[in-house]
Amino acid sequence: ASLDNARHLSSLLRAVHFQDHATCFATANGLRVTVEDAKCIQANAFIQAEIFQEFAVQEESVTFRINLSVLLDCLTIFGTGSLPGTTTALRMCYRGYGYPLMLFLEEGGVVTVCKINTQEPDELLDFDFCSTKVVNKIILQSEGLREAFAELDMTSEVLQITMSPDKPYFRLSTFGNAGSAHLDYPRDSDLMEAFHCNQTQTNRYKISLLKPSTKALALSCKVSIRTDAQGFLSLQYMIRNEDGQICFVEYYCCPDEDITEAEL
Amino acid sequence: MRFGAKIVDLACLNHFSRVINTIAKLAKSCTLRLTDSKLYFILSDKVANGGVSMWCELCQGNFFDEFQMEGVAAEHNEIYLELVPENLSRALKTAQSAKAVKIKLTNKHCPCLRVAVELPSLSSSSRIVTHDIPVGVIPRRLWNDFREPRVPDFDVSIYLPALKTMKSVVERMKNLSNSIVIEANLSGEMNLKIETDLVSVTTHFKDLGNPPWASEDGYQSSVQDRDLESMAEARIDIKKLQQLLAGQQVNPTKALCNIVSKRIVHFILLHEDVSLQYFIPALA
């Protein structure tokens, strides 16, 4: 694969970088990079083949596990500053099972070659989240949520999300040392692009697992928040890159069962 | 033994502060040698420094409006002081908009460099902020420890690439490995390499140019005999290289390095009125 501006890839990967390791999955459609934690949360970054100047996959699909911190250090070897006019060009090659991932990066006549060892891919969680099972769905403009997420009370163990066809419509709550905080978004707010809530649902998620999604939120222009009957959460972020192309990052999270069961 | 100096010009003051800041980033403690024409900041290659040594030379006339010194004795008109450059750097931070800065060697309770910063004030009398920086006086019998290092018999001498690019690359590589290999040849090519279990990264710089050295003791001919493509390399501690690059606040007029294969890398960074030499030994 080759890319004129390596930042198109590196900024997206940083949005899912909350663990050292990631699984890369390449098909003719593009590249998907998945990061998981605690068997409760999964983040996926999708970079479609169209974003790349060249993208070819030999077999039907190619999968490998790689150290994401190392990959990001290599992609940003010439620095992370986004000075206008200076872009790093990238070529990536993967020969197959057991081979390292080769990166060729070039900026201003200087070439860096990286060889990153790959590993056996792990089994990934399948959240089995499909549109037919969605109970509640909201699409918001990201700027509305950015401040809220950046200022989440981290002394609270959970983030509680309430979605309802009635008041309070959409509420984010935390229960920290200083007290509880509730942030309500009315359904007729300018920031609300779509509101499809059928049932009142209140779910709690471990805040430490969701905090990394703030990175994806910061990059995105829109976010869709969906829950299914079990309370599984899907956050989909629409991200526009420097050239105006669209990419997606998705976070899936299990509800915090310890507390939910206690409530029952 | 006496020393007193004064800087009045703001540009000279800022320039001097920048030099001190660079030195402070490179050495926790170092030797300041004063002669009637020059100042030297010296770090000698003790094991405690990891074998790194530094020699920085400034012409006092380019910085100070007044400069008077009287050395230890008439035949040895020099002063050697041990100091912590970070202390001097912090004192000078208060001088960013000063009217004048006076530096004097005093010995009230113990030897100190007294830095008096005269600041502008609204009233007719000016404000003076004084910093007393403790220093150690180095006796004459130890002066031999601080002689100027010889330029080593290098295998390759090459100009450094743009420091900004080199800095970014080395900073990233520092996250991935503890040691880095610098290799270069006489065709203006330099490579920076790291290799660990997880990853190997090589950055290739081309068309850097090799500085001509005046022939001394005929060693230029031995360099000429060398195959132009063959690389001289040394593996060095990446943190030391990163410290050197991070400390450069202004782009040098000339930057080059001399590599003695597998032994030492000698960096020379020249600015208009300051020259800095930095030696990083190769790792075992």
Other residues' Cβ atoms within 10 Å of the Cβ of residue A97: 11
Per-residue pLDDT at B93 exceeds 80: yes
Nearest Cβ partner for A110 among B199, B201, B205: B205
Separation of alpha carbons A119 and A67, rounded Å: 9
Q: pTM surpassing 0.80?
A: yes
Per-residue pLDDT tens digits for B40-70 = 999 987 766 678 899 999 998 889 999 999 8
Between the alpha carbon of residue B145 and those of residues A179, B138, B231, B246, the distances in Å are 64, 10, 33, 28
Asked whether the beta carbons of A206 and A37 are under 8 A apart, the reply is no
**3-state secondary structure (DSSP) of residue A200:** coil
Nearest to B199 among A76, A111, A114 (CB): A114
B223: its two tokens:
């360099």
Could you give the angle at which helices B10-26 and B238-246 cross, rounded to 10 degrees?
Answer: 170
Q: How confident is the model at residue B218 (pLDDT cuts 50, 70, 90)?
A: very low
Say if CB B253 and CB B274 are below 8 A apart: no
Interface check for A104 against chain B (CB to CB < 8 A): the answer is: no
* Phi, psi dihedrals of residue A253, rounded to the nearest 5°: -140, 140
The pLDDT of residue A68 is 92
Query: pLDDT grade, residue B256 (50/70/90)?
Result: very high
Residue the block writes with tokens 């002669």:
B35
Q: Which residues contact B53 (CB under 8 A, 6 or more apart)?
A: B43, B44, B45, B149, B278, B279
Quick check: A262 contacting B, CB < 8 Å? Answer: no
Task: Return the pLDDT at A84.
Answer: 61
Closest-CA distance of chain B to residue A123, Å: 21
pLDDT tens digits, residue range B142-196? 888 888 888 888 899 999 998 889 999 999 999 999 999 999 999 999 999 999 9
**Using an 8 Å Cβ cutoff, are A208 and A200 in contact?**
no
Determine the average pLDDT of the residues in B198-213. 91
Contact yes or no for A73 and B202 at CB 8 A: no
- Chain B's closest residue to A68, CA to CA, is B198
Q: Are A245 and A47 in contact (CB under 8 A)?
A: no
Q: Are A120 and A66 in contact (CB under 8 A)?
A: no
Q: Quick one: closest CA in A to B177, which residue? A: A70
Q: What is the arrangement of strands in the sheet containing A110-116, beginning at the earlier edge strand? A: A2-3, A89-94, A101-107, A110-116, B199-205, B190-195, B179-184, B232-237
Other Cβ atoms less than 10 A from the Cβ of A8: the count is: 19
In Å, how far is B207's CA from the nearest CA of chain A? 10
Q: Does A70 touch chain B (CB under 8 A)?
A: yes
Q: What does the pLDDT read at residue A71?
A: 92
One digit per residue, the tens of pLDDT, for chain A of length 264 reads 888 888 888 888 888 888 888 989 888 888 999 998 888 889 999 988 888 888 888 888 888 999 999 999 999 888 776 566 678 889 999 888 888 999 999 988 899 999 999 998 888 877 777 767 888 899 999 988 888 888 888 888 888 998 888 888 888 888 888 888 888 888 888 888 888 888 888 999 998 888 888 888 998 999 999 998 888 899 999 998 888 888 999 999 988 875 444 343
- The conformation of residue A131, written as its DSSP 8-state character, comes to G
Task: Give B95-121 pLDDT, tens digit per residue.
Answer: 888 888 999 999 888 999 999 998 887
The pLDDT score that the predictor gives to residue B266 is: 93
| H or E element, residue A194 | strand A192-197
Q: Which residue, among B82, B85, B79, B69, has the nearest Cα to B33 in the 3D structure?
A: B79
pLDDT score at B224? 57
Tell me if A117 and B207 make a contact (CB, 8 A cut-off): no
Specify the pLDDT at position A235: 92
Contact in structure between A101 and A67 (CB atoms under 8 Å): no
pLDDT at B3 over 50: yes
Q: Which of A74, A237, A45 is nearest to B173 (CA)?
A: A74
Q: Is A50 helix (H, G, I), strand (E, B) or coil?
A: helix
Which pLDDT value is given to residue B258? 93
Q: Are A5 and A82 spatial neighbours (Cβ–Cβ below 8 Å)?
A: no
The pLDDT value recorded for residue B169 is 92
Give the closest of A109, A112, A117 to B169, CB-based. Answer: A112
What pLDDT shows up at residue A190? 84
**Phi and psi for A189 in degrees, rounded to 5?**
-65, 150
Mean pLDDT (chain B) is 87
The secondary structure of chain B as a DSSP string is -EEEEEE--HHHHHHHHHHHHHHHHH-SSEEEEE-SSEEEEEE---GGGTT-EEEEEEEGGGT-SEEEEE-SSSTT--EEEEE-HHHHHHHHHTTTT-SEEEEEEEESSSEEEEEEEEE--SSSSPEEEEEEEE-EEPPGGGGGGGPPPPPP--SEEEE---HHHHHHHHHHHHHH-SEEEEEE-TTS-EEEEEE-SSEEEEEEE----------STTHHHHHHHS-TTPPEEEEEEHHHHHHHHHT--S--SEEEEEEETTTEEEEEEE-SSEEEEEEEEPP-
* Alpha-carbon gap, residue A198 to A137, rounded angstroms: 9
Map tokens 């920085």 to a residue: B56
- With CA atoms as reference, the chain A residue closest to B200 would be A115
- A112 and B173: CB-CB below 8 Å? no
Q: Are B118 and B137 in contact (CB under 8 A)?
A: no
Helix, strand, coil content of chain A in percent (nearest 5): 20, 45, 35
**What does the pLDDT average to over B204-210?**
92
Of A15, A24, A13, give the one whose Cα is nearest residue A57. Answer: A24
Which is higher by pLDDT, B203 or A135? B203
Burial-class residue B72 by CB neighbours within 10 Å (0-12, 13-18, 19+).
middle
Q: How far is B277 from chain A (nearest CA, A)?
A: 26
Residues facing residue A220 across a β-bridge? A239
Facing B172 at nearest CB: one of A73, A108, A116: A73
| Burial (Cβ within 10 Å: 0-12, 13-18, ≥19) of residue B199 | buried
Which residues sit opposite A238 in a β-bridge? A222, A248
| Out of A51-60, B31-40, B79-88, least confident range | A51-60
A114 lies within 8 A of chain B by CB: yes
Report d(CA A11, CA A6) in Å as an integer: 9
Buried b (16+ CB within 10 A) or exposed e, B32-69: bbbeeeebbbbbebeeebebbbbbbbbebeebbeebeb
User: What is the interface size between A and B, counted as CB pairs within 8 Å?
Assistant: 58
Give yes or no for A113 touching B (CB within 8 A).
yes
